[in-house]
Amino acid sequence: MGDFGEKKTVNNSKKEDNFKKVRHPDGGCVFCGQGFYGFFDEKNNKSYFYFTFSQDKHQGPPGHVHGGVIAIFIDEAMSFATGNFFPCFLGKIEILYKKPVPLGVSLRIEGEVVRVEGRKVFTNGFIIHEKKSGEKDVLIQASGIYIRPKGSDGTVSLFVVED
């Protein structure tokens, strides 16, 4: 477990205004410790990255991404969005698999914080196919609740910001 793609596979993201390039600092995470990075807008508590799923590492049904792999990626996007509230950990995730997620296509994976109630950080996540026509097709829609540990003041950052 843990080989979810080549390090260079996720590097097709383009930095947008107000977003900083971020990654997790230690190599211990089965997913994010592999040179993975995303982008985080600390003012608006949003994150995104692009990823192209490959047949040899991510396939479930023929030609499509495995549902468990989708769950890992959507969790990561929502987790990145909680950057202002770190440390916090996933307490609950709900995923609506609206359409099959194809292999071999660059997809935008987004996360956002929608509200905070005490130690609970509520998030939404999306996997979007941005078509050449400009149309955006939402394939996956998710919500999550991340929990800040007791005593956490939100000043600990698990992200390393790169230029």
Question: Model confidence over 51-65: pLDDT tens digits?
Answer: 888 888 899 999 999
Distances in whole angstroms, Cα of residue 49 to Cα of each of 29, 46, 62, 117, 147: 18, 11, 24, 26, 23
Residue 141 contacts residue 78 (beta carbons within 8 Å): no
Question: Model confidence over 106-130: pLDDT tens digits?
Answer: 999 999 999 999 999 999 999 999 9
14, two tokens:
């383009």
First-to-last alpha carbon distance for the chain, in angstroms, is 30
Closest listed residue to residue 60, CA positions, set 50, 51, 68, 71 = 68
Backbone angles phi, psi at 38, to 5 degrees: -145, -165
Backbone angles phi, psi at 27, to 5 degrees: -95, 15
pLDDT category at 27 given cuts 50, 70, 90 is: low
Per CATH, the number for 7-162 is: 3.10.129.10
Global pTM reads: 0.81
Task: Give the pLDDT score at 122.
Answer: 98
